[in-house]
C-alpha cells in the first residue's frame, strides 16, 4: 500500500499559489506604476496652468499634448513642460513625443529618442528634436481625453495702442493713445471669437469727422469684432478663415494659408486673399462703405536658425489697388522682435521703408481659476515706423489685434529649440 503525505501536497500547492500571487502582484504594481507616472505628470502640468493636457502610449512611444496658457513666452512655457516630463514622465525604453497645441490645433512636436546604451532615460533639453512634423502620433493623440480644456474659457486682454504722426510743422508729434480691452474665447477646436472695445486715453491731433460732427477718436467705441477658424491640413499646411470687423477700419472676409516645406522646414510659403470694405465706428454706430475691394498677397520666407533671423519677400495688392514688392528682415530675441522693411509699388508710386518691433509685456507668468475670466495685458506691444511718411498707399489690415511678427513666430520650431537650449 502506497502512503501519500497530504500535508506535503498542501505545502506545495500553497507555495505555488503564493508564488503565482506574488508574480501577479508584481506585474500589477509595475503596470500601476507606469499609469501613476503618466497620471502624475499630467496632473503636475495641469496644476502649472497648462491646458489641453493629455497622454497616451503605444508600443513605440508615449505621447503628450499640451497648450501653454500659463507663460507669456512660448519657449519658456514649453521648456518648463519638458523639464517636468523629463523628471517624471519619460517611458522606459521607448521614445517620447510632446505635441504643442494652439487653440487645440497642433503646431509643432518635440521628439526624444533614447539611445540603446541607456538603461534608464536621462534626457536633457538638448536631446529633444523640435519640428513641424507630427509623424503618426497625432492620429492617436487627438482621440484621447484632455485635461483642463481651453474651450469656453474667457480672456480679457488689454491691448495698449499708441499712434504717432509727424505731419504738422508746429507740432513735433500728433499722439493718440488708447487702451483696448478685448474678449477672446474659443467655443470649439480652432475657433476664436474676438470682441474689442477701444477706450481713448489721450488724443493730441488725431481727427476724423463723422456725420454727427464728432471726433470719433475721442469717443469710446468698439474695435475689432471678428470670428476666425483655423485648421491644420496635410503636409504642414495651416489655413485660417476670418469674417467680421477687422483692424484698420475694414470689414469683410479674409482667407490666409501657410505651407512649410517638409524637406527643409526653414522655408515656408504664405498666401492671403481678402474681400473688404471701409468702415468706422462713431461711438456705437458703425458706418459702412458698400464698395468693396479685393486684396491679396503671396510670399516666401526663410528662417536662419543661427541668428533667429527671418527674411521674406511678398507680392502684394493693397487696399487702393496698387501692387508692390515688399521685403522684410526680422530678428527674433527672447523678449523682442525687431526688423526692417522696404517696399516699392507700381504706377510711379515712390518707394517706402521703415522698421518695426514687438516687445513682450509682463507679467511673464499667470494662471487662471477655473472658468473665471482672466484679465491680462496683451502678450506684446509694438509699432511700425513709416520712414517715407506715406499716407495713401501701401495700406493693409489685420484680422485680429494679436496678429504681429512676434506672435506669428512664437511657435517656430527653430526658435523654440534655441529657447530650450539657451534658457
pLDDT in tens for each of the 423 residues of the chain? 444 444 444 444 455 555 555 544 444 443 433 455 788 999 999 999 999 999 999 888 999 999 999 999 999 999 999 999 999 999 988 899 999 999 999 999 999 998 765 555 578 999 999 999 998 878 877 888 899 999 999 999 999 999 998 888 778 889 999 999 999 999 999 999 999 999 999 999 888 755 555 688 889 999 999 999 999 999 999 999 999 999 999 999 999 999 999 999 999 999 999 999 999 888 899 899 999 999 999 999 999 999 999 999 999 999 999 999 999 999 999 999 999 999 999 888 999 999 999 999 999 999 899 999 999 999 999 999 998 888 889 999 999 999 999 999 999 999 999 999 988
Would strands 95-102 and 61-67 be described as parallel, antiparallel, or unpaired? Answer: parallel
What stretch of H or E contains 156? strand 155-165
Nearest to 190 by CA among 255, 133, 254, 240: 240
| pLDDT of 271 | 98
| pLDDT of 209 | 57
Angle at 288 (CA atoms; ends 284, 291), nearest 5 degrees:
170
| pLDDT of 261 | 97
Nearest to 223 by CA among 262, 281, 159, 178: 281
Q: Compute the distance between CA of residue 164 and CA of residue 233 in angstroms, rounded to an integer.
A: 40
Identify the three-state secondary structure at position 135: coil
Q: Across 220-335, where does the E strand assignment appear?
A: 221-233, 237-246, 250-260, 267-282, 285-304, 309-317, 323-332
Q: Render pLDDT for 298-341 as a digit per residue (tens, 0 to 9).
A: 999 999 999 999 999 999 999 999 999 999 999 999 999 999 99
Sheet strand arrangement including 95-102: 51-57, 61-67, 95-102, 105-112, 129-131
| pLDDT of 16 | 56
Q: Render pLDDT for 190-225 as a digit per residue (tens, 0 to 9).
A: 999 999 999 999 999 888 755 555 688 889 999 999
User: How many H-runs (helices) and E-runs (strands) does the chain carry?
Assistant: 5, 19
| pLDDT of 167 | 81
Q: Compute the distance between CA of residue 243 and CA of residue 274 in angstroms, rounded to an integer.
A: 10
Amino acid at each position: 500500500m502506497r502512503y501519500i503525505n497530504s500535508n506535503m501536497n498542501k505545502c506545495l500547492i500553497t507555495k505555488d499559489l503564493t508564488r503565482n500571487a506574488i508574480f501577479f502582484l508584481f506585474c500589477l504594481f509595475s503596470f500601476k506604476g507606469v499609469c501613476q507616472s503618466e497620471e502624475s505628470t499630467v496632473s503636475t502640468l495641469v496644476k502649472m496652468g497648462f491646458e489641453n493636457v493629455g497622454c497616451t502610449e503605444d508600443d513605440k512611444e508615449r505621447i503628450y499634448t499640451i497648450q501653454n496658457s500659463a507663460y507669456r513666452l512660448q519657449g519658456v512655457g514649453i521648456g518648463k513642460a519638458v523639464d517636468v516630463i523629463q523628471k517624471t514622465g519619460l517611458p522606459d525604453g521607448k521614445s517620447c513625443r510632446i505635441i504643442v497645441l494652439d487653440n487645440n490645433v497642433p503646431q509643432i512636436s518635440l521628439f526624444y529618442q533614447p539611445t540603446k546604451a541607456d538603461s534608464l532615460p536621462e534626457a536633457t533639453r538638448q536631446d529633444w528634436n523640435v519640428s513641424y512634423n507630427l509623424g503618426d502620433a497625432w492620429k492617436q493623440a487627438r482621440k484621447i481625453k484632455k485635461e483642463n480644456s481651453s474651450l469656453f474659457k474667457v480672456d480679457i486682454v488689454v491691448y495698449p495702442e499708441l499712434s504717432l504722426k509727424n505731419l504738422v510743422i508746429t507740432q513735433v508729434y500728433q499722439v493718440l493713445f488708447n487702451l483696448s480691452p478685448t474678449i477672446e474665447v474659443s467655443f470649439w477646436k480652432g475657433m476664436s471669437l474676438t470682441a474689442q472695445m477701444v477706450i481713448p486715453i489721450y488724443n493730441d491731433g488725431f481727427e476724423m469727422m463723422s456725420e454727427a460732427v464728432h471726433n470719433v477718436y475721442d469717443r469710446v467705441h468698439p474695435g475689432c469684432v471678428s470670428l476666425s477658424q483655423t485648421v491644420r491640413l496635410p503636409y504642414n499646411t495651416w489655413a485660417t478663415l476670418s469674417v467680421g470687423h477687422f483692424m484698420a477700419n475694414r470689414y469683410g472676409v479674409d482667407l490666409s494659408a501657410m505651407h512649410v516645406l517638409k524637406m527643409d522646414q526653414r522655408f515656408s510659403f504664405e498666401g492671403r486673399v481678402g474681400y473688404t470694405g471701409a468702415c468706422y465706428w462713431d461711438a456705437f454706430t458703425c458706418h459702412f462703405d458698400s464698395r468693396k475691394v479685393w486684396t491679396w498677397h503671396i510670399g516666401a520666407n526663410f528662417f536662419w536658425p543661427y541668428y533667429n533671423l527671418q527674411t521674406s519677400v511678398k507680392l502684394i495688392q493693397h487696399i487702393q489697388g496698387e501692387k508692390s514688392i515688399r521685403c522684410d528682415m526680422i530678428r527674433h530675441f527672447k523678449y523682442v522682435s525687431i526688423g526692417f522693411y522696404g517696399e516699392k509699388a507700381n504706377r510711379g508710386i515712390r518707394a517706402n521703408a521703415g522698421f518695426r518691433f514687438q516687445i513682450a509685456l509682463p507679467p511673464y507668468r499667470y494662471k487662471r481659476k477655473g472658468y473665471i475670466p482672466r484679465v491680462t495685458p496683451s502678450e506684446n506691444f509694438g509699432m511700425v515706423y513709416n520712414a517715407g511718411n506715406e499716407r495713401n498707399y501701401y495700406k493693409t489690415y489685420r484680422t485680429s489685434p494679436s496678429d504681429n511678427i512676434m506672435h506669428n513666430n512664437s511657435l517656430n520650431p527653430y526658435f523654440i529649440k534655441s529657447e530650450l537650449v539657451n534658457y
